[in-house]
Chain A
Amino acid sequence: MTRKMFVAVALVALVGTRAFAEIDLSGSWQSINHEDALERGAGPNPDDWAGLPFNESGRAKALSFSQSIISMPERTCWFQTQWHIAAGPFSLRMWAVPDPITGKVQAWMVGAWETRAPMTIWMDGRPHPSKNAPHDQTGFTTGVWNGNELIATTTHLKTGYMRRNGAASSDQATITTHFRRHGDLLTLTLIMEDPVYLTEPYILTRSYNLATNPVAIGGPPCIVGDEGVESGRVPHYLPGKNPFVDEMMKRYGIPSDAAMGGAETMYPEYRDKIKAAFKRPEKCTINCG
């Protein structure tokens, strides 16, 4: 076979394969923050972990959390792993990085949300590194196509957060992100598994509109700063000393047991358990929209 012939056949094969193996996700995607609007915007209420499938360790870790901890220079950027896509309010920009020789997509980039580095989704079949390889906040992500669905798997994360009120994820967490597009609407389903802090996978979904205004690539980075916390002090609450455990009852009449989370709080039967204890306030007084 001549070289020309080989190239032609390879090109036809490549075009044919790509035509029914993927969908274009590139563009600027404006975040639609209609669900979990408070959690993603201003931030969740203190000690509100309802619907989060914590185990005892996860709950204990969260109860020890003091918001002042992020004033420590070494923890200023602590919480922003790739889960920030789900927990923050930010829009996305996606683009494909082609292999310079074959033109095949080598990686998808998901970037442009404040304080985070873009996520690189490697599409070239490379394996994840050894479990002993360094972990960082970006982690290591590979992707595969399932028809029109892009499935990305992220490992090698540092400890981060699941909610911005102290619910932590461990460095053993895995995030699976499903990208599905319907015309100008993009839906992400993010599934976190964490053998250290969760009893079941934690699932969140987020939606985006295709935007004509470009989302900036590489928002301002998380910058470590000295906010005056004296050296050696780690802001925290000792067991039994967290002052916010009744906050959801005070604000919304939601029993503290429900606010403490756990897998049972995710399912319909749990409503029967809290029905008698729930006290609906006459009027919303805080974070009402």
Chain B
Amino acid sequence: MSPLPNPLPDAEAQCRQLADLIRPCLHHRPALVGIFSGGAWIAERLKELLDLPEEIGMIDVSFYRDDFAEKGLRPQVKPTAIPFDVEGRHLILVDDVLYTGRTTRAAINELFDYGRPASIELAVLADRGERELPVAPTYCVWDLALGDSDKLVLARQDDGQLAWRLENA
């Protein structure tokens, strides 16, 4: 794990790096599924960079989270939209930051309610470690360590460019 660089890395450049990692592995025609919101933005970038013809899927995992009892329903729920048939497809699940692994588990559970995929790979820009479930990224461009109260957030600026932001609770 490397310490946090200052200034934070260029997220757009990292998307290009992530696309470079995925490009050799497109032979089984994977479909991209981005997790709202950061994962969805990154998935959009990947679609352009990898020149994929198919529409990307976007999922909101709010209804599959395991912390409903403590936290209730998040106020900003967006509709999941999977414009292709999941059955028998190879999927690449895309998210911005991989942390405990619970969001990934929720996303996988949700995808399985749409059908039985042939495989699911995970592509993330950042892995901050401290896994609480046995989840590992297939493609990742940045390993880092953060304090408990730190939060790494991907934001979309007014000009449409993606950029990292560090928040402290």
Decide whether A and B assemble into one complex. no
Report A's interface with B, CB cutoff 8 A. none
Chain B residues proximal to chain A, CB less than 8 Å: none
